[in-house]
Amino acid sequence: MSFLLDPFSADFMVRAFIAGVVIGGLCALVGVLVVQRGLAFIGDGLAHAAFGGIALGLLIGPALEKNRAIAGSARAMTMVRDGSWIALPFTVLIALGIAFVLRRGRLRGDAATGVFFAVSFALGVLFLGLRPTSAPPVNVEAVLFGSILAVTPSDLLTATVVAVLVAGVLILVWPKLAYALFDRELAELSGVRVAVLDYLLLAIAAVVTVVAVKTAGVVLVSAYVVIPAATARMIGRRLSSVAIIAVVLGAAGSAIGLLASYHLNVASGATIILTLGLIFALGLAFGPRRRA
């Protein structure tokens, strides 16, 4: 029993555990939808877009810290200091740009994502290089690989609020969205506004990615999006059951991975991803076989 309870003697571990479960479940839910839309790499693309946004936020943030209204609010200061105040609108704009390119139909999803991903990341590197030497140093490693153990109560609150809102919106639009994911033409024939749903899904993916980057890091966030969704696809027979399985696997993988990293004294983000990978391998080996 102490194996399970010991890690929670420290507050930061409790926060990390809850954040991991919330982010793991949230990314998996969005992952099921984007994977079904043929945009499995959107998490990767948007995470790199978030890097560009974070870097831009860090570049112009110091000037804003002098603003009295911002300086007076602890939450506003946190957002300015971690760059998320720019990363959020920046990433949403990139997501809408990808949706626009997809709708024009000249590029496939992976190509559109690849273009935006590379340009945003290059902008991020450029923005970081333009920061004055007097600016506080940036922990690039934490941005790239995440820092789940450094999650603050404020981060946790943000993640939870976003999770509740996203889940609510997705439940609301689920029938129309699922129909559009199955076949856009048939859905349109039934009066579903497929274009609006495209933009909505990518905007939601952007918001979730920005929130997840804080804990999972730019490089690893796509694993939270893709692996539980891919595993659940092998097991579930209906889209709704695939979504539930993915959420459970994402949350459980994060929890188990975090506990394992604590006891093995190894990097938590990487251990969580490896746990999700192990669950995928088990699904592959023991999951139901489909007709060839």
User: Least distance in Å: CB of 35 to another protein?
Assistant: 11
Is residue 65 close enough to count as binding another protein by CB under 8 A? no
226 binds another protein (CB under 8 A): no
Q: How far is the CB of 36 from another protein (least distance, A)?
A: 7
- 118 touching another protein, by CB under 8 A: no
Contact pattern for another protein over residues 175 through 204, marking x by CB under 8 A: xxxxx-xxx-xx-xxxxx------------
The rounded Cα 107 to chain-centroid distance in angstroms is: 24
Nearest to 250, CA basis, from 25, 20, 4 = 25
Helices 268-286 + 194-216 axis angle, to 10: 130
**Nearest-angstrom CA–CA distance, 272 and 258:** 6
Give the integer Cα–Cα distance in Å for 141 and 218. Answer: 10
Is there binding between residue 240 and another protein (CB under 8 A)? yes
Count of residues touching another protein (by CB under 8 A): 27
> Which residue stretch of 55-63, 108-116, 153-161, 239-247 sits at the interface with another protein (rule: CB under 8 A)?
239-247
Alpha-carbon distance of 71 to 2, in angstroms, equals 43
Alpha helices by DSSP H, 37-152: 42-65, 68-71, 74-82, 84-104, 109-130, 140-145
Return the number of the residue (12 or 182) whose C-beta is nearest another protein. Answer: 182
Type of residue at 289: R
Question: Could you list the residues that contact another protein (CB under 8 A)?
Answer: 36, 174-179, 181-183, 185-186, 188-192, 233, 236-242, 290-291
